[in-house]
Amino acid sequence: MNVYEAIFNRQSIGKMKSDPVAREVIERLLAAGVQAPNHYKVRPWRFIVLTGAGRERIGQAMAESFRKKFPEAPEEALHKEAAKPLRAPVVIAVGVEKPTEPKVLEIENICAAAAACQNILLAAEGEGLAAIWRTGDAARDPLVKSFLGLEQDQDLIGFLYIGYAEILPELKIRPGFEDRTVWLD
Ligand SMILES: Cc1cc2nc3c(=O)[nH]c(=O)nc-3n(C[C@H](O)[C@H](O)[C@H](O)COP(=O)(O)O)c2cc1C
Task: Confirm whether 172 is domain-assigned.
Answer: no
Pairing outcome for strands 45-51 and 130-134: unpaired
Are 47 and 33 in contact by the 8 Å Cβ rule? The answer is: yes
Instruction: Note down pLDDT in tens along the chain; length 185 residues.
Output: 899 999 999 999 999 999 999 999 999 999 999 999 999 999 999 999 999 999 999 999 999 999 999 999 999 999 999 999 999 999 999 999 999 999 999 999 999 999 999 999 999 999 999 999 999 999 999 999 999 999 999 999 999 999 999 998 899 899 999 999 999 99
Task: Confirm whether 182 is domain-assigned.
Answer: no
Q: Which of 7, 9, 12, 84 to mutate to test the pocket of ligand 1 (most atoms within 8 A of CB)?
A: 12
Q: Tell which residue, 161, 86, 171, has the closest CA to residue 124.
A: 161
Full residue range of the structural domain in which residue 161 is found: 11-50+86-165
Task: Confirm whether 95 is domain-assigned.
Answer: yes
Nearest CA to ligand 1 atom 6: 134
Task: Confirm whether 184 is domain-assigned.
Answer: no
Report the atom number in ligand 1 closest to the C-alpha of 10.
Answer: 26
The domain tally of the chain equals: 1
Task: Confirm whether 59 is domain-assigned.
Answer: no
Contacting residues for 78 by C-beta, under 8 A, at least 6 apart: 63, 66, 67
Task: Confirm whether 19 is domain-assigned.
Answer: yes
Task: Confirm whether 115 is domain-assigned.
Answer: yes
- Number of Cβ within a 10 Å radius of residue 170: 6
Domain with 35 in it: what CATH number? Answer: 3.40.109.10
**Could you tell me where the beta strands, DSSP code E, fall in the chain?**
45-51, 90-96, 130-134, 155-163
Which residues line ligand 1 at a C-beta cut-off of 6 Å? 11-12, 132-136, 158
158 alpha carbon to ligand 1 midpoint, in Å?
Answer: 10
Report the atom number in ligand 1 closest to the C-alpha of 132.
Answer: 15
In this predicted model, what pLDDT tens digit does every residue of 118-154 receive, in sequence order?
999 999 999 999 999 999 999 999 999 999 999 999 9
Task: Confirm whether 143 is domain-assigned.
Answer: yes
